[in-house]
Amino acid sequence: MPVPDDLVRAQENAVVEMVQVGPLAQELADRFAAAGHRLYLVGGSVRDALLGRPSHDLDFTTDARPEAIQAVLEGWAEAVWDTGIAFGTVGAVRHGSTVEITTFRADDYDGVSRNPVVAFGDSIVDDLVRRDFTVNAMAVELTAAPHRFVDPHGGLAALATGTLDTPATPQQSFSDDPLRMLRAARFVSQLGFEPAPRVVEAITAMAEQLDRITRERVQVELTKLVMGAHPRRGIELMVDTGMADRVLPEVPAMRLAIDEHMQHKDVYTHSLVVLEQAIERETDGPDLVLRLAALLHDVGKPDTRRKESDGRVSFHHHEVVGAKLVRRRLRELRYPKVVVDEVAQLVFLHLRFHGYSSGEWTDSAVRRYVTDAGPLLERLHKLVRSDCTTRNRRRAAALQRTYDSLEERIVELREREELDAIRPDLDGNEIMRLLAIPPGPQVGKAYKHLLAVRMERGPLTREQAEAELRAWAAEHLS
């Protein structure tokens, strides 16, 4: 049964009322109207407004060509940049707000790269059909009075049902730009949407086309996915469709390894639970390093899986192997060095606590735990606690109590010593003066020896430190 026109208009008017257009956007629209052009708020700006999500940047589309856009912005914007002008995009800043305005597009793609052969269009409807998903293919015409809602592909209905679908066929959309497949997983994570069956089918058939995308662009989407509200859902979509095999193959590889407790779960599922539990322990918003470490902490298990004589499965030294795999993969994805180093170090250290057992660690072992973790200690606390996924409540409670004991030991030692800044009791200058040696490798070796003594025995008096240094020198410098 067709919907009456007056009801359609009422629904559109209600949507327009939901999209609060600020004075800056209306001011810009008035300038375009005065120049004889149309201006539309479009894409994520409209989607987020309808979802009640904050949107800091504003995206617009227009029938004006790039040169005409620049003319409209002249004298209004505080800054204008044209780095995207070849693709029809002009950016500007006014009163601290960033806007991007793009001429209607009607591009063609070569099917090899993700770079389009740019062609400008004349229709908002034709422009919207080339966008990635229907929830991003809605627009509000600001140069109309009253404002007009434009939704030719059912984006509002998809938004209401939480469905992720494409304006064109998924095959055409993903062939044009394979990155859209990874973006689908990102939106599943960020917005909690469910991909339409035809979208899942197309991604599964076309996942290998992600190889056309640069690692830098893949990393950006993966990071947004991991930092989303529902990263487990996004990761599961990547694994189930084969995208993870092209982007993060160590994750689906974990499905092959049953965990050491021989419970009915694989390491992959365990890692997803650890990720969720780590997120619950975040205190200052999403933490990329903690989330990546939680997801990847057991990636060394498939390569270290062994069946012991008693029938149990072991994964000896999987933390060492895992840290190497993590470092290699994150480098390949072009993550910043600090992220690579910190995630790899957390993976390397995540099993160290299990040597604590019933609390028999010496003060020296506690010092090493703190020193090796360094500024990652609080994240390590969260990761280790999150790594407990046993269904045995008694065992889980015992593990948490044991870690409580370790944290209490750390606090006690911190009160007695400067744990977070452990240094040898003599610095390099004092070593050179006491041993009468010039700068060089011998000074470094002496420094490392004194640091090891400091870790083992705690703070030394001045006399003890000098005696230790002279004893070492007598053995190694004579």
- Tell me the pLDDT band of 8, cut-offs 50, 70 and 90: low
Query: Per mean pLDDT, which range of 66-80, 106-120, 420-434 is the poorest?
Result: 106-120
**Pair of tokens at residue 122:** 């004349």
Rg (CA), the chain: 29
Our count of domains for the chain comes to 4
- Percent of the chain scoring above 90 in pLDDT: 54
Q: Across residues 59-75, what is the average pLDDT? A: 94
Q: For residues 240 and 352, state if they share a domain.
A: no
- pLDDT for res 418: 56
Q: What residues contact residue 305 under an 8 Å CB cut-off, 6+ apart?
A: 256, 257, 313, 314, 315
Other beta carbons less than 10 A from residue 262's beta carbon = 10
Q: Across residues 25-38, what is the average pLDDT? A: 94
Peptide bond into 146 cis (omega under 30): yes
Beta strands 89-94 and 39-42 are: unpaired
Q: For residues 257 and 283, state if they share a domain.
A: yes
Q: Across residues 378-386, what is the average pLDDT? A: 94
Q: Does residue 20 have a pLDDT over 80?
A: no
Beta strands 57-62 and 148-150 are: unpaired
Residue type, 451: L
Beta strands 57-62 and 97-103 are: parallel
Alpha carbon distance 244, 203 (integer Å):
11
C-alpha count within 13 angstroms, C-beta hemisphere, residue 308? 8
Per-residue pLDDT of 103-134, as tens digits, reads 998 766 655 655 666 788 889 999 999 999 99
The CATH number linked to 337 is: 1.10.3210
Per-residue pLDDT of 219-265, as tens digits, reads 999 999 999 999 999 999 999 999 999 999 999 999 965 545 544 45
Alpha carbon distance 417, 411 (integer Å):
10
Domain boundary among 133, 161, 189: 161
- pLDDT for res 111: 58
Q: Is the pTM of this model over 0.85?
A: no
Q: For residues 409 and 428, state if they share a domain.
A: no
Q: For residues 117 and 234, state if they share a domain.
A: no
**Pair of tokens at residue 417:** 């010593």
- pLDDT for res 2: 46
Per-residue pLDDT of 143-202, as tens digits, reads 998 889 999 999 999 999 999 999 999 999 999 999 999 999 999 999 999 999 999 999
Q: For residues 179 and 274, state if they share a domain.
A: no
Mean pLDDT of the chain: 87
Q: Across residues 364-386, what is the average pLDDT? A: 90
Q: In terms of C-beta density within 10 A (0-12 exposed, 13-18 middle, 19 or more buried), how is residue 227 classed?
A: middle
Query: Per mean pLDDT, which range of 40-54, 245-259, 343-357, 358-372 is the poorest?
Result: 358-372
Query: Per mean pLDDT, which range of 84-88, 112-116, 452-456, 473-477 is the poorest?
Result: 112-116
Q: What angle do CA 171, 177, 182 make, to 5 degrees?
A: 90
Nearest to 306 by CA among 297, 298, 315: 315
- pLDDT for res 93: 92
Enter the DSSP assignment of 161.
H
Q: For residues 431 and 312, state if they share a domain.
A: no
Q: Would you state the torsion angle of the CA atoms of residues 335, 209, 152, 147, taken in this order, to the nearest 10 degrees?
A: 20
Q: What angle do CA 125, 128, 132 make, to 5 degrees?
A: 155
Q: For residues 286 and 303, state if they share a domain.
A: yes
Q: For residues 223 and 283, state if they share a domain.
A: no
More confident residue, 170 or 403: 170
The CATH number linked to 183 is: 1.10.110.30
Domain boundary among 420, 451, 466: 420
Q: What residues contact residue 440 under an 8 Å CB cut-off, 6+ apart?
A: none
Q: Across residues 279-300, what is the average pLDDT? A: 96
Q: For residues 284 and 153, state if they share a domain.
A: no
Q: For residues 126 and 75, state if they share a domain.
A: yes
Alpha carbon distance 462, 448 (integer Å):
17
**Pair of tokens at residue 211:** 């190889």
Q: For residues 338 and 444, state if they share a domain.
A: no
- pLDDT for res 6: 57
Domain boundary among 109, 144, 161: 161
Q: For residues 446 and 414, state if they share a domain.
A: no
Q: Does residue 69 have a pLDDT over 90?
A: yes
- pLDDT for res 466: 87
DSSP H helical ranges for 310-461? 318-332, 337-349, 363-373, 377-386, 393-416, 428-435, 441-457
For the chain, the straight-line distance linking the first and the last C-alpha, in angstroms and rounded, comes to 99
The domain of 176 spans 170-247
The CATH number linked to 39 is: 3.30.460.10
Highest mean pLDDT among 188-197, 385-394, 448-457: 188-197
